[in-house]
């Protein structure tokens, strides 16, 4: 079967397709992977690559399920331990359930220094976890020597240290090292010179590097450049040289260039060669030597195992000293080395038998992405080692007694060996609120279950909330959900699945949105019971709101997010760090109204135009229509009121819809045909009438020059599938909003042709209306515009005619449609894709396929399980530090891009202290409090603030309402009014947060800001 003829199940894989692209997806679907070791790290990798959709995976493991496996492997259950099942047997069916397209089998044969390795030839990638170094070397040599080489990945996790090693052969070709989509950048000028210099329009940065190549399109004048690729030499962020252009024609105007993606070859050495001269990635720039220090320590750990046939004993000082001596010996043999880190070696020795599930999740996400790179050649591979330690998690615990870390025969023994019994108990007692149960939410719940966060017997609890239902496209990365869960609520389903991993967890699942409307549920007393809040959200607005609530209630917040292979984590600690709202991303640039309406230049403009058309025709107008007739009881009443000269908001638009309302399927087809004419023929004719091709601006330059593209009218042709799709999809959507029945037969080409043969297209008459060309102009709101007397008369006549023909209750109803991008049977995407493609054709814009159109129209965020698993693991590591009450210096924020790959760990931004004056400081976490009573006046409030905080208030504001601004007329009278009367709190309101400004030290200076002042309506802070 040819690779490209394979169907990709878009309903399952759509979010991942946007990350990897179809070519990589096809290659995965033909690749077999061998994965050895079903511990915490192995099961993470198995989950991620099966979700991604490889052809086949063999899970290899020779061990039996033990109690402590329950704390690291989320697919092993208590009954597996009791019935003494093998780990491979236990997990194989559960891994297979994750993706019906992947064949999962298991093997429990011995894999050691004597095994014949020829069986590995049927795999494209081999991953070893829990394997001794000697075996890793042997398997790697075998893989490297094959033609073509089998890609090899070795992964290990011992206590606080993890490593990943990659060897993809002598020459590994990568089709696309970054995965970034090249942008079309418009040209301002190209000089006729040697070298010729290209300048970008509007000083846009080109983002190029010297040595890359660009291809030119649509250049006027210097037309020889079109379609050719030229290597660039960067001169500035906005200009670059492209070699000799002196013999070409003079540049006139227009054109754009696009970066040419060129494949890159990577060279790998074997594990044996890389041991003494390792090439490492440095994730934490505050400790650049750490990777080499972990390298030496983990090699010494392997030697320790060779010599003693065991790992160092937990808390054994002698073993730690032996390991330290071995590390020094190993380090002496390395070419690329750093000084031995004694603390790291001792911590590794103490925790080597243990396991930190979040660390396995974080590095498992990275290693899984390397597996996908190995079999697809998409994205730059890791060269060649990745090391990470979690020393910050265990550093403050070193003074605890050895008994703290000893096993107790339960599922937490692995964790206990790392963080001790007291920390385990604190985790069990934790009360967490997690907002969102999508991809990050599922991964977080898995970490909670393995860490034992929120156990019922310790009065702990994990409260989760998410209003969404499960859709098929979620199953590709929200790994707690299965096909039979589709259309069930995410939160309750995730809670059930989490209790399967750890039955002792107390999970309370809600279906609410967290927003001002639910503040009655998630009120201050709710937050006061929590230890911390975790966000697993996919939008900035919700994060901002949750952040405000956490700051107001002094609660730590752990935030994270992903976009494709990129991820970030942010830790927000009361009084230590800045909050989420302390930094603002620049707002998304809006496409100017006139560009969308008349002058699109790139495909994004035509897609947005089509999406706006859908919203206006099938959602906004039907909603407005229905609510109008709910307000006004009958057509007759509306007519009487209009005849008496009353103006009713929206009446003109509503009556127009009523008078033109289709009642049969064939009228829907007719309307669609007339809309085709309006959008794709007349729009072009009108624009060319208003601005003929030779139109010039005041400065003498051409009106129609880049980025403006002159349109060409499209002649309707039913034989053209694009034209046919537009007519049928639009007619179906019209039938949907007007509740008009139609049959499958009505959609046939024959039936549509028959209806269209009777449709008369009126002759085109150009109008003299003004076309907006100002890029700063906003879209006018027709609802708010006053009607002309002519429009009023027209509306009255239309309404009279409608009443004469009979206005039934059905005619006063319309059903708005909610845009649903993932259901291909509803015609929504058919309409948007065909309308966008026709408009692109009309303006000679390179069209986009349906997949890209769907991503842009549906504002889909590309997503893949590897990145999701990694961010959740990193967040859960920080959670342990929060529970331990660690200091500022131990916390880490992270940004990563698994594609490149780059991982950057940094300290959070420390909280800023703002000076009010004379040693009075405040930060975002401060809140001053004043307790009042029923008769407490505004004047009393001002005095109370002055007495308590030693500073003169000058202005008091509540939300957007100004309570007291001295310069405002009448405000001085308010000083005598009670706070109750001024604020008018709701019955159950205990307090309000007021914004208070303070008097400057010198006259004429600005008023000084201060923290919010929380005013309680009663002396004890209870409800008045």
Q: Which DSSP helix (H) or strand (E) runs through 485?
A: none
Q: Number of helices (H) and strands (E) in the chain: give both, helices first.
A: 32, 32
Would you name the residues annotated as active-site residues?
594
Mean pLDDT, consecutive 10-residue segments, the chain of 1024 residues?
61 93 94 98 98 98 97 98 97 98 96 95 98 97 97 98 97 93 90 94 88 92 92 94 94 91 94 95 90 97 97 94 98 94 97 97 98 97 96 94 95 97 98 97 98 97 97 95 97 98 98 94 95 94 94 96 96 95 76 90 95 96 92 84 82 88 95 97 95 91 89 95 97 96 94 93 87 80 65 82 82 92 92 98 94 93 96 98 96 96 95 82 90 92 90 86 86 89 85 84 71 86 53
Q: Give, in order, the Cα–Cα distances in Å from 500 to each of 76, 477, 482, 495.
A: 10, 19, 14, 9
The helix-helix angle for 439-451 and 357-376 (nearest 10°) equals 140
Q: Rounded to an integer, what is the distance from CA 806 to the centroid of its chain?
A: 52
Q: What is the b/e burial string over 642-653, where b = at least 16 CB atoms within 10 angstroms of the residue's CB?
A: beeeeebebbbb
| pLDDT value, residue 316 | 92
Cα–Cα distance between 233 and 245 in angstroms, integer?
Answer: 14
How many residues would you count in the chain?
1024
Convert the pLDDT of each residue in 99-150 to its tens digit: 999 999 999 999 999 999 999 999 999 999 999 999 999 999 999 999 999 9
| pLDDT value, residue 804 | 82
Q: How many Cβ atoms sit within 10 Å of the Cβ of residue 860?
A: 17
User: Is residue 496 classed exposed, middle or buried when 0-12, 13-18 and 19+ CB atoms within 10 A define those classes?
Assistant: middle
What's the token pair of residue 166? 């990659």
Helix (H, G, I), strand (E, B) or coil at 66: coil
| pLDDT value, residue 784 | 61
Contacts for 844-847: CB closer than 8 Å, 24+ residues apart: 844/709, 844/712, 845/600, 845/601, 845/602, 845/603, 845/605, 845/606, 845/709, 846/603, 847/603
Cα–Cα distance between 420 and 864 in angstroms, integer?
Answer: 34
User: Is residue 699 classed exposed, middle or buried when 0-12, 13-18 and 19+ CB atoms within 10 A define those classes?
Assistant: exposed
**How much is the pTM?**
0.91
Closest to 131 measured CA to CA, from 60, 180, 187, 70: 60
What's the token pair of residue 668? 């829907």
Q: What is the b/e burial string over 12-39, where b = at least 16 CB atoms within 10 angstroms of the residue's CB?
A: bbbbbbbbbbeebbbbbbebebbbbbbb
User: Is residue 771 classed exposed, middle or buried when 0-12, 13-18 and 19+ CB atoms within 10 A define those classes?
Assistant: middle
Closest to 101 measured CA to CA, from 12, 162, 5, 214: 12
């Amino acid at each position: 079967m040819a690779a490209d003829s394979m169907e990709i199940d878009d309903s399952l894989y759509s979010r991942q397709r946007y990350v990897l692209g179809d070519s990589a997806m096809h290659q995965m679907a033909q690749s077999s992977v061998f994965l050895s070791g079903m511990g915490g790290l192995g099961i993470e990798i198995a989950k991620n690559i099966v979700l991604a959709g490889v052809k086949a995976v063999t899970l290899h493991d020779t061990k039996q399920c033990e109690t402590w496996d329950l704390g690291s492997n989320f697919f092993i259950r208590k009954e597996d331990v009791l019935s003494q099942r093998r780990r491979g047997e236990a997990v194989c069916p559960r891994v297979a359930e994750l993706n019906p397209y992947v064949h999962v089998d298991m093997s429990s044969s011995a894999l050691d220094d004597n095994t014949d390795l020829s069986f590995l030839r049927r795999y494209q990638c081999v991953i070893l976890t829990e394997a001794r170094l000697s075996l890793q070397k042997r398997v790697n040599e075998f893989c490297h020597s094959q033609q073509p080489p089998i890609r090899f990945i070795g992964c290990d996790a011992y206590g606080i240290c993890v490593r990943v090693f990659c060897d993809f052969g002598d020459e590994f070709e990568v089709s696309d090292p970054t995965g970034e989509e090249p942008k079309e950048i418009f040209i301002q000028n190209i000089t006729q010179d040697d070298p010729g210099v290209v300048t970008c329009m509007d000083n846009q940065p080109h983002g190029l590097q010297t040595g890359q190549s660009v291809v030119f399109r649509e250049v006027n004048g210097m037309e020889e450049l079109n379609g050719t690729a030229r290597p660039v030499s960067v001169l500035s962020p906005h200009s670059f040289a492209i070699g000799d252009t002196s013999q070409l024609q003079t540049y006139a105007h227009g054109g754009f260039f696009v970066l040419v993606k060129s494949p890159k070859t990577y060279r790998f050495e074997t594990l044996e060669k890389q041991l003494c001269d390792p090439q490492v990635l440095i994730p934490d720039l505050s400790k650049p030597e750490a990777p080499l220090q972990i390298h030496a320590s983990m090699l010494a750990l392997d030697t320790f195992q060779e010599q003693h046939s065991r790992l160092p004993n937990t808390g054994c000082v002698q073993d730690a000293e032996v390991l330290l001596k071995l590390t020094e010996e190993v380090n002496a043999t390395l070419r690329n080395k750093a000084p031995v880190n004694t603390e790291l070696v001792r911590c590794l020795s103490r925790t080597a038998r243990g396991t930190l599930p979040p660390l396995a999740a974080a590095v498992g996400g990275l290693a899984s992405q390397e597996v996908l790179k190995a079999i697809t050649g998409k994205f730059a591979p890791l060269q060649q080692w990745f090391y990470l330690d979690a020393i910050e998690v265990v550093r403050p615990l070193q003074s605890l007694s050895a008994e703290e870390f000893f096993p107790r025969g339960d599922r937490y023994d692995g964790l206990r060996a790392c963080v001790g019994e007291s920390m385990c108990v604190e985790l069990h007692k934790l009360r967490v609120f997690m907002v969102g149960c999508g991809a990050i939410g599922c991964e977080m719940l898995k970490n909670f279950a393995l860490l034992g966060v929120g156990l019922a017997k310790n009065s702990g609890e994990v409260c989760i909330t998410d209003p969404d239902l499960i859709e098929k496209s979620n199953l590709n990365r929200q790994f707690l959900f299965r096909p039979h869960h589709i259309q069930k609520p995410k939160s309750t389903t995730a809670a059930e699945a989490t209790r399967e991993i750890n039955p002792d967890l107390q999970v309370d699942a809600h279906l609410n949105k967290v927003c001002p409307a639910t503040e009655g549920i998630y009120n201050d007393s709710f937050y006061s019971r929590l230890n911390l809040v975790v966000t697993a959200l996919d939008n900035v607005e919700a994060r901002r709101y949750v952040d405000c609530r956490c700051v107001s209630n002094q609660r730590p917040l752990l935030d994270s997010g992903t976009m494709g292979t990129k991820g970030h984590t942010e830790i927000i600690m009361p009084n230590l760090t800045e909050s989420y709202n302390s930094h603002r991303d620049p707002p998304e640039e809006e496409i100017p109204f006139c560009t969308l309406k008349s002058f699109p230049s790139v495909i994004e403009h035509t897609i947005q135009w089509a999406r706006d058309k859908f919203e206006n025709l099938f959602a906004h107008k039907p909603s407005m229509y229905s609510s109008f007739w709910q307000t006004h009881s009958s057509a007759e009443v509306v007519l009487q009121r209009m005849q008496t000269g009353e103006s009713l908001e929206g009446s003109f638009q509503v009556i127009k819809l009523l008078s033109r309302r289709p009642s049969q399927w064939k009228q829907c087809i007719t309307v669609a045909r007339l809309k085709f004419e309006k959008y794709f023929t007349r729009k072009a004719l009108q624009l060319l009438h208003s601005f003929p091709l030779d139109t010039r601006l005041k400065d003498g330059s051409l009106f129609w020059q880049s980025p403006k593209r002159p349109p060409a009218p499209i002649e309707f042709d039913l034989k053209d599938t694009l034209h046919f799709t537009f007519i049928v999809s639009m007619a179906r959507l019209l039938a949907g909003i007007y509740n008009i029945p139609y049959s499958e037969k009505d959609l046939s080409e024959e039936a549509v042709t028959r209806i269209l043969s009777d449709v008369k297209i009126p002759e085109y008459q150009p109008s003299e209306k003004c076309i907006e060309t100002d890029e700063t102009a906003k879209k006018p709101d027709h609802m708010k515009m006053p009607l002309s007397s002519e429009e009023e008369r027209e509306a009255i006549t239309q309404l009279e005619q409608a009443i004469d023909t009979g206005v039934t209750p059905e005619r006063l109803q319309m059903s708005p449609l909610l845009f649903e991008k993932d259901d291909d049977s509803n015609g929504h995407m058919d309409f948007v894709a065909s309308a966008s493609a026709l408009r692109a054709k009309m303006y000679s814009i390179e069209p986009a396929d349906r997949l890209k159109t769907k991503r842009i129209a549906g504002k889909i965020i590309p997503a893949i399980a590897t990145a999701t698993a990694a961010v959740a693991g990193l967040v859960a590591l920080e959670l342990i530090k929060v529970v331990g009450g660690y200091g500022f210096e131990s916390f880490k924020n992270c940004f990563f891009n698994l594609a490149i790959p780059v991982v950057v760990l940094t300290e959070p931004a420390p909280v800023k202290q703002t000076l009010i004056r004379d040693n009075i400081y405040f930060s975002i976490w401060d809140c001053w409090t004043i307790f009042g009573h029923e008769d407490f006046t505004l004047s009393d409030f001002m005095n109370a603030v002055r007495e308590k905080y030693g500073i003169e208030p000058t202005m008091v504001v509540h939300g957007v309402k100004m309570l007291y601004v001295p310069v405002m007329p009448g405000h001085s009278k308010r000083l005598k009014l009670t706070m109750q009367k001024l604020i008018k709190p709701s019955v159950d309101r205990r307090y309000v947060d007021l914004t208070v400004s303070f008097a400057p030290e010198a006259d004429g200076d600005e008023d000084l800001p201060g923290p919010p002042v929380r005013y309680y309506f009663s002396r004890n802070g209870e409800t008045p």
